[in-house]
Structure 1
């Protein structure tokens, strides 16, 4: 039995779509009713990281797990891994982040990811780490301003990021969950080339067939924008991450997507083309 956590999330739902219907799969979410269109033949179960009893039920009879946690600073990984080990889970594939390999990254989010990786490596279970660069789907945060004003606003718009298609992350997860030889390995997942926000804006404009304008945010504007959504420690972490990107820390391209999937990583243009409706005017 394979358990997919975060099954309603950006990557988790794509993992569910790619797992063979011949496999025994269980999809976990805090609100399993949201899984109706995503789960396919998978069993659905309620699981809440704050509810150990729900985790024990979700993990009953499970051999392998795709683990996604997102509440920065919380001990969700520690609680889940303790229960998973007690339940007899053999292998955990964890969604981590590429920044953990950057010695200059010491922000709250990266420290939390490193701690979670350490917990998994010390859990006594087999482990595989997936370390993606930023998701191409982060561009969806521009959709509203593109539709209404034809504008993309971002910090350090000329800094490059080798962002990755979430569908490639999901396919990598499926391969590491279902094929042997991936225990004890970590994979950095990137797109085929590094792009700036200004370049992404230009590609979206070409696909939409209308002009788009890129507007550079300064750090104070970015801070104000993020402060409306996140607590201060997370805002500081995001600003630190953006500064590392400005210095070129996120521009490296790797071959792990092709190694795992047998094909080149998908491009931003291809991802945007498949999601163009989100950016198009009604």
Structure 2
């Protein structure tokens, strides 16, 4: 039995869509009614990391887990791993972040992800880490101002980031969840080439058939805007991460998506083309609705997910 957590989030719901129809799957969510695209045979279970009894029910009979947590600096990983070990889980595939390998990264979110990896390493269960760079879908946070003003506002518009399509992360996750040979491995997942927020803005404008303007935000403006969305330590972590991006720390490309899936990682142009309706005036695709502009490549709050280090790394 495979248990998928985070199934209403950006990557988790794509994992659910891609798992083989005949695989024994259980999907964990606070509200199982929000789980979409699950196969007919998939089980749905209501559970929360802070509720040991619900975790016991969710983990009964489970051998493999896809683990996603998003409460920065919280103890959800520790709670879950204790319950998983007690339930007899053999293997955990953890969604982590590319920044954990960067010696220059010492912000709150990265330290939290490193600590979570260490917990899993010493859990007694087989482990695999998926470490994505920023999600291409983070640009959905621009949809509101693109629609209303024809403008994108972000920090460090010329900072390059080898952002990755969440669908590629999910496909890699499914391979690791359903195949042997991935124990004690860590996979950094990136797109095929680094791209800047300015370049993303111009590309979206071409796809939409309209001129888009990029406006550079100052760190002070971003700090003030994010203060209404996140606790101060998380805001500072995001700004520190953005500074590393400006210095080139996030531009490196890895071949891991091809190695795991057998095909090249998808380019931002392809992701944007598949989601252009979300940016169009009157578009009907789901769009995240942040209350303030974020740094380029920063996490956004999308349906079923919260702040997670993997979104902005």
Show the 5 A alignment for 1:68-217.
68-217=68-217
1:24 correspondence with 2:39: no
Higher relative contact order, structure no. (Cα contacts within 8 Å, ≥ 6 residues apart): 2
Structure with higher helix content: 1
Corresponding position of 1:235: 235
The two structures have a TM-score, normalised by structure 1, of 0.99
CA distance in 2, matches of 1:220, 1:29: 37
Q: Secondary structure at the match of 1:61?
A: coil
CA distance in 2, matches of 1:140, 1:40: 27
Corresponding position of 2:306: none
Please say if residues 63 and 90 of structure 1, whose CA atoms lie closer than 8 Å, have aligned partners that are also in contact.
yes
Give the gaps of 5 or more residues in structure 1. Answer: none
Corresponding position of 2:39: 40
Q: CA deviation at 1:69?
A: 0.2
Q: What is the CA deviation profile of residues 257-280 of structure 1, one whole-angstrom value per residue up to 9, with x for unaligned ones?
A: 000000000010100111111100
CA distance in 1, matches of 2:147, 2:278: 8
Q: CA deviation at 1:228?
A: 1.4
The two structures have a TM-score, normalised by structure 2, of 0.89
Q: Secondary structure at the match of 1:161?
A: coil
Q: CA deviation at 1:38?
A: 2.6
Q: Secondary structure at the match of 1:152?
A: strand
Q: What is the CA deviation profile of residues 64-88 of structure 1, one whole-angstrom value per residue up to 9, with x for unaligned ones?
A: 0000000001000001001101101
Q: Secondary structure at the match of 1:186?
A: strand
1:13 correspondence with 2:13: yes
Q: Secondary structure at the match of 2:172?
A: helix
CA distance in 2, matches of 1:40, 1:157: 41
CA distance in 2, matches of 1:196, 1:227: 24
Please say if residues 72 and 112 of structure 1, whose CA atoms lie closer than 8 Å, have aligned partners that are also in contact.
yes
Corresponding position of 1:253: 253
Give the gaps of 5 or more residues in structure 2. Answer: 283-313
Q: What is the CA deviation profile of residues 22-48 of structure 1, one whole-angstrom value per residue up to 9, with x for unaligned ones?
A: 10000100111111x332221100110
CA distance in 1, matches of 2:133, 2:193: 12
Corresponding position of 1:262: 262
Q: Secondary structure at the match of 2:248?
A: coil
Equivalent residue pairs, number:
281
Q: What is the CA deviation profile of residues 193-238 of structure 1, one whole-angstrom value per residue up to 9, with x for unaligned ones?
A: 0000000001101111110000000100111111111110000000
CA distance in 2, matches of 1:15, 1:195: 25
Q: Secondary structure at the match of 1:130?
A: strand
Over the residues paired in the alignment, what is the CA RMSD in angstroms? Answer: 0.6
Please say if residues 8 and 38 of structure 1, whose CA atoms lie closer than 8 Å, have aligned partners that are also in contact.
no
CA distance in 2, matches of 1:91, 1:280: 42
CA distance in 2, matches of 1:38, 1:235: 34
Q: CA deviation at 1:256?
A: 0.5
Please say if residues 67 and 94 of structure 1, whose CA atoms lie closer than 8 Å, have aligned partners that are also in contact.
yes
CA distance in 1, matches of 2:43, 2:222: 42
